[in-house]
Amino acid sequence: MQGPLIDTLARQGITRRTFLKYCATLASMMALPPTAGRAMAEAMAAARRPSVIWLPFQECTGCTESITRSHSPTIEGMIFDMISLDYQETLMAAAGHQAEAARANAMKENAGKYLLIVDGSIPLKMDGAYSCIGGRSNVDILKEAAAGCAAIVAMGSCASYGGIPKANPNPTGAVSVSDIVKDKPIVNIPGCPPIPVVMTGVLAHYLTFGSLPALDDKGRPKSFYGDTIHDRCYRRPFYDQGKFARTFDDEGARQGWCLFELGCKGPVTHNACATVKWNGGTSWPVESGHGCLGCSEPDFWDGGGFYKALSAPADPLKFAAAAAVVGAGAGVAVSFANRAKKSAARASHETTTLADLEK
């Protein structure tokens, strides 16, 4: 543990104003009231670094890649300076028994207080033999680490919902973290991989308030997963006008029309790609001409084909169709309402204190 965060940042040449600016943008992305950035900055600047243990299970390391390579020299990386990452196989220098000892140590010293991050699903078939670390099964390690943690972050679709390992016929009997741990607060950050800023947003929230953000019915932070891709897609006006690309190289594709008929799962997928984008805000899948795969929804791999248009209109789709009839105006009102739904606090553009935000 070191002194207040702002001092650590200052030593790395990150000024107070850079930090304030970052917090203002983060608060905006998290749909917190506009003045929340300052409250967050104050709280985070004074925060001591919490211990974090990161367990990798049945995974491809894509989630770790997404977070650590977000952009360089990364502002996201600042958040990693705000935590004390005591165990992360891929990033830590220690290996073998040393690494396992570091985990045991951190768990003992911070019992009841550490934050547990999990990426990857947990295989249950054959007593969990499909994935072991240091001779112990994933399920075993998870139960032990979960017992002493304050809260769990399930990073990526595998830890959140089972992900690709769970895809039909699920040979390893893969399950999600929430299938096993029932007695701890769990936040799911699905995505294959998840967007880096969602991860840092959740960490910032935890550092600021000491609790997890408000979650939707699938355990995802509402601030990032409150809208569907389709709600916020810049190609949405084409959808509303009935202008669709039918192949990847027809006139419609060249004109940048809606990718619905090419299998876009945007209408039923809750994620922040359309607003936050990828690679430091450079672009995102639909902008590069490919439909959304639905990677932040449970069982997206078994959704019936990435290039098959959605057939059974789910709720969000009906909703979109209604908006199409009334026209673009309704679309705007709808996204406005969604935004309002996400955060009641947003409604008042007023000064916010930490106490207000904690409500």
Partner 1 sequence: MSLDAIPIHVVNAPSGEPGLTGNAPPLLRELLEQVRRLLDTGEPSAIDLSALPLTPADLDWLHDKLGSGEIAVALQANGESTLNETGCPGVWWITHRNEQGAVTSQFIEVTFVPELVKAHPRDVAIGQEQLEFMISDL
Q: Does 220 bind ligand SF4 (CB under 6 A)?
A: no
What is the phi/psi pair of residue 55, to 5°?
-105, 125
Q: Are 357 and 32 in contact (CB under 8 A)?
A: yes
Closest separation between CB of residue 228 and partner 1, Å?
15
What is the phi/psi pair of residue 261, to 5°?
-70, -15
Q: Does 115 bind ligand SF4 (CB under 6 A)?
A: no
Q: Does 286 bind ligand SF4 (CB under 6 A)?
A: yes
Closest separation between CB of residue 302 and ligand SF4, Å?
14
Which of 278, 280, 309, 319 binds partner 1 (CB under 8 A)? It is 280
| Structural element, H or E, at residue 175 | strand 174-175
Q: Does 56 bind ligand SF4 (CB under 6 A)?
A: no
Number of residues that bind ligand SF4 (CB under 6 A): 25
- CA-to-CA dists, residue 187 to 23, 154, 254, 300, 335, angstroms: 21, 6, 39, 19, 24
Which positions from 61 to 90 touch partner 1 by CB under 8 A, shown as an x/- string? Answer: --------------x---------------
Q: Does 335 bind partner 1 (CB under 8 A)?
A: yes
Residue in 147, 149, 146, 179 with CA at minimum distance from that of residue 162: 179
CA distance 155 to 195: 10
Query: 102: helix, coil or strand?
Result: helix
Q: Give the tokens for residue 143.
A: 């139960």
Round the CA-based radius of gyration of the chain to a whole number and report it: 21
Q: Are 54 and 67 in contact (CB under 8 A)?
A: no
Which positions from 179 to 198 touch ligand SF4 by CB under 6 A, shown as an x/- string? Answer: ------------x-------
In this complex, which beta carbon is closest to partner 1, that of residue 98 or of residue 283? Answer: 283
By a kind-dependent CB cut-off of 5 to 8 A, residue 229 interacts, out of ligand SF4, partner 1, none, with ligand SF4
Which of 281, 304, 313, 327 binds partner 1 (CB under 8 A)? It is 281
CA distance 213 to 192: 21
- Could you write out the DSSP letters of every residue in 181-209? --SS-EEEE-SSSPPHHHHHHHHHHHHHH
By a kind-dependent CB cut-off of 5 to 8 A, residue 225 interacts, out of partner 1, ligand SF4, none, with none
Using alpha carbons only, what angle is made at residue 63 by residues 62 and 69, rounded to the nearest 5 degrees?
A: 85
Which residues partner with 114 through β-bridges? 149
Residue in 157, 224, 225, 230 with CA at minimum distance from that of residue 191: 157
Which positions from 203 to 242 touch partner 1 by CB under 8 A, shown as an x/- string? Answer: -------------------------------x--xx--x-
Closest separation between CB of residue 283 and partner 1, Å?
10
Q: Does 230 bind ligand SF4 (CB under 6 A)?
A: yes
Residues lying near partner 1 in the complex (CB under 8 A): 15-18, 20-22, 24-25, 28-29, 31, 33-35, 38, 75, 234, 237-238, 241, 253-256, 280-282, 287, 289, 328-329, 332-333, 335-336, 339, 346, 349-351
Which residues are at the interface with ligand SF4 (CB under 6 A)?
Answer: 191, 229-230, 233, 235-236, 239, 258-260, 264, 266-267, 269, 271, 273, 284-286, 291-296
